[in-house]
């Protein structure tokens, strides 16, 4: 009976030692690759063999996340390039003006509708900050025509209209001609709302639209003249 108990005890010890050996071999393999498998274990342990090719594979694997990150950045840059610039994201009732002729034609076609003209620069931080709110205001007032004039593309016309600071706004209406002109920033956007409320009252005018008065189709400056740029509000 004692021999049987002793035999079972030794078997238990052998089994436990085998598990310990297997665990130890797994840990040792991770530190020193190339060791042979441990015999008499329930699960054979096959260590990772080290070679120059495996080192190269590991290096390529280590560099993969960085390559993927660069690829994502490139795709993001391409996507951003395809997006419209901030000054191109117009509301439906916004019109870009590219010449004096375009401006006078737009005023004539507006008839008795209120026309708000924004003078802006693509480099102007105040213009960019104000523009999203101006777009929302345009969407809230589909009855108003919003004209946008890029200062850098229309310097002679802007100078003849006394635009010296950006962003700058003109208000026009049919036979009444120019109603108001002022500079405005995002912090003072209430000025635009107040002007809209003031000039949006219904009225009947007699006579053709006055447009912009003395503004002529031919610019007052030669194309080579470079007027000083405006300041930002």
Give the residue among 121, 132, 211, 184 at the shortest CA–CA distance from 158.
121
Q: What angle, rounded to 10 degrees, do the helices at 125-140 and 190-199 form?
A: 40
Is 135 marked active-site? Answer: no
Q: Cα–Cα distances in Å, from 176 out to 89, 179, 212?
A: 30, 7, 10
* 111-132 as b/e: b if 16+ CB within 10 A: eeebbbbbbbbeebebbbebbe
What does the alpha-carbon distance between residue 92 and residue 213 come to, in Å, rounded to a whole number?
28
Is 124 marked active-site? Answer: yes
Q: Of 127, 135, 184, 204, which residue is the catalytic one?
A: 127
For residue 176, how far is the Cα from the chain centroid?
40
What does the alpha-carbon distance between residue 12 and residue 14 come to, in Å, rounded to a whole number?
5
* The Cα angle at residue 112 between residues 110 and 118, in degrees rounded to 5: 55
What does the alpha-carbon distance between residue 180 and residue 143 come to, in Å, rounded to a whole number?
18
Residues sharing a CB contact under 8 Å with residue 158, sequence separation 6 or more, in sequence order = 119, 149, 151, 230
**How many residues are there in the chain?**
233
Task: Give catalytic residues, as residue numbers.
Answer: 124, 127
């Amino acid at each position: 009976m004692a021999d049987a108990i002793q035999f079972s005890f030794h078997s238990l010890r052998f089994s436990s030692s085998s598990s310990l050996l297997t665990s130890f071999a797994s840990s040792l393999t991770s530190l020193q690759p190339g060791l042979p498998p441990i015999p008499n274990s329930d699960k054979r342990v096959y260590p990772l063999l080290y070679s120059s090719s495996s080192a190269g594979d590991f290096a390529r694997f280590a560099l993969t996340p960085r390559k993927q990150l660069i690829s994502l950045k490139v795709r993001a840059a391409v996507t951003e390039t395809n997006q419209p610039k901030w000054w191109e994201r117009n509301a439906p009732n916004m019109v870009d003006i590219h010449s004096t002729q375009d401006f006078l034609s737009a005023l004539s076609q507006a008839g008795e509708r209120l026309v708000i003209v924004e003078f802006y620069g693509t480099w102007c931080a105040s213009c960019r900050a104000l523009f999203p709110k101006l777009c929302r205001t345009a969407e809230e007032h589909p009855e108003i025509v919003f004209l946008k004039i890029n200062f850098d593309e229309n310097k002679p016309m802007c100078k003849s209209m006394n635009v010296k600071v950006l962003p700058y706004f003109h208000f026009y209406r049919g036979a009444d001609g120019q109603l108001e002109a002022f500079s405005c920033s995002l912090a003072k956007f209430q000025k635009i709302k107040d002007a809209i409320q003031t000039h949006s009252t219904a009225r009947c005018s007699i006579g053709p639209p006055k447009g912009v008065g003395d503004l002529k189709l031919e610019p007052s400056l030669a194309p080579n003249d470079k007027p000083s740029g405006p300041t930002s509000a």
